[in-house]
Structure 1
């Protein structure tokens, strides 16, 4: 939370005089060749494999650190990237994604995913070797640097919205912490199963069930350790939180929490 607040204050102080980024697509965007400090190998919390992910946390790695295991991304000088998982043991499932990037300025980068390769033991005891051509524009990301660490957050190029997103992230982090400090989520009485994987469809379903017509999805954040996604919604000038947890490949359990829920503790 403290780090997010620092980022927010930095953004607030530095946004004056900066121009709006009108992102019209990867192919129509110009790369700034003068910015090279992002090139190299980074550890990354999530592999770049889909358009849904809104945040990536990166840690710079150097050759002095030796072999790096886990998720990583390498930003190459030729404006291509490789995001891959590695492990010391070969009996694992290895995912590798390949794509392109363009650095617009010191604050923005855009990504394009070309293909994903999965190999190794990904489906039981059988050996997997599959390549999926994706060719998908992943959009624009705001760059937040902190020494040898970097965070990429999905952006629409609007500086005010970037500031709001940092506030929403801070709010969701605090709510997630409170939920798992004070409650056993299995005891929540109103879990409902959703077949949809789309946050828009999940939100629409629960708003309809609660007879809420006017609402806005503000942000959503996935917490890896708890395998939980929280969708932040605003309706009737109040915050609503949709807590989502996967129970199978096709089913998601969802519960709606009002902001007043968090005032109980």
Structure 2
């Protein structure tokens, strides 16, 4: 079929009500294709290796289907790929380390699948990334100690609902353009890094459902754009600091199920909560 459509540059069939289907292996014949949008059309089966033959492809959108199997490593031979959306499928296995070769990648969305093992650490060296959405999987690695240093454009980092371990590195403070940071529902330990206050563009900070200890760092009072803060279900101690009252944009605050002591700051009654 597709050998007759070799001049196609964009192919968008997404968001329709097809009964079902698979991605045909002759998709690889569309060698001029730059954008492939097949989101939400009930696709089944695996992603064919031939998708790696689309060396002009900049955007791959296969999310919201019923795809199974693993990510073909051939996909990472593409030096121009900018956006990958494979979220909301039933994909599994390990994410190939070759993903770190995609040095033009801006969006990586693998949410709501069954990926396991380590998140390839070289992902966090791709300086063009703006969104990394890996939540609701079974990743079980440590967060790299340099997380944030090589991500000057990162705006969204969503790693919640995994099995990540270790500490939140203070280097996260280097990702100064972060708007959404969600590390909740993992197995993270240690304290909340003091540098978190450098993320002054944050709107959402979710660290709940981990094994964090220590106190709330006073640097949070610099998060003037923060609207959502959730630290519930950890082992945080000390008092609930008055600095929280300086967060004039804050609309939702969750601190339940910790080990806080002392009295509630009276200034909480003067906030927008």
TM over 0.5: no
- Give the number of the structure whose residues are more often strand, by fraction: 1
Structure whose CA Rg is larger: 2
Higher relative contact order (CA 8 A, sep 6+): 1
